[in-house]
Amino acid sequence: MAQRQSGQVAENRRARFDYHLGEHYEAGMALTGSEVKSLRQGKAQLQEAYAILKDGEAFLLGAHIAPYERAGLFNHDPTRTRKLLLHKRELRDLQVAVGRQGMTLVPIRLYFNRFGLAKLEIALGQGKKAYDKRRAIAERDAERSIQRAMKRPR
């Protein structure tokens, strides 16, 4: 079976719909060998994932990385808590934003960078209200109908 060498592994497409996203950060992740092999096969989901700050460190919770078939006895727990690797300055900035402004850390996408390292893009997000979501749907539908009308021959 061919493995992915670089590129995107998983994306949380729902995040842009549910949150007003602010500043983006790139974080490394502390992973086991079987997790990396599973990620190279593209077997990860970020839909239920979120990040927290605890004791000056960042952690990813709820992300599902499927068990690697060939790991056998040394396989990992698919939804275990994973430590995120960020600079102290970034952790400090995130702590301030989450504490004062009531924002949350939303995982956006999981990918391999050009050096082959697994990275997680996280963003500061503020939850959207129901009327914001309805407005976004209406705008998207209007844009589609405009594109459809322009595409039709006269």
Residue % of the chain over a pLDDT of 90: 49
Residue 107 falls inside a structural domain:
yes
Quote the pLDDT of residue 6: 61
Quote the pLDDT of residue 1: 41
Give DSSP secondary structure letters for 10-23.
Answer: EE-TTHHHHEEEEE
Q: Which domain CATH number covers 110?
A: 2.40.280.10
Residue 141 falls inside a structural domain:
no
111-128 pLDDT, tens digit each:
999 998 999 999 999 888
Q: What band does 107 get if pLDDT is binned at 50, 70 and 90?
A: very high
What 3-state class would DSSP assign to 133?
Answer: helix
Quote the pLDDT of residue 45: 92
φ/ψ region of 72 (left if φ > 0, alpha if ψ in -120 to 50, else beta) reads left
Q: For residue 88, is pLDDT > 70?
A: yes
- Judged on CB neighbours under 10 Å (0-12, 13-18, 19+), 110 is buried
Residue 91 falls inside a structural domain:
yes
Q: For residue 9, is pLDDT > 50?
A: yes
32-49 pLDDT, tens digit each:
988 999 999 999 999 989
Structural domain containing residue 50: 7-128
Alpha carbon distance 36, 38 (integer Å): 5
The mean of the pLDDT values for the chain is 88
Number of structural domains (the chain) is 1
Joined tokens for residue 92: 């400090």
Q: Around Cβ 44, how many Cβ atoms within 10 Å? A: 19
Residue 89 falls inside a structural domain:
yes
Quote the pLDDT of residue 4: 46
Residue 1 falls inside a structural domain:
no
pTM of the model: 0.78
Contact 41, 3 (CB under 8 A): yes
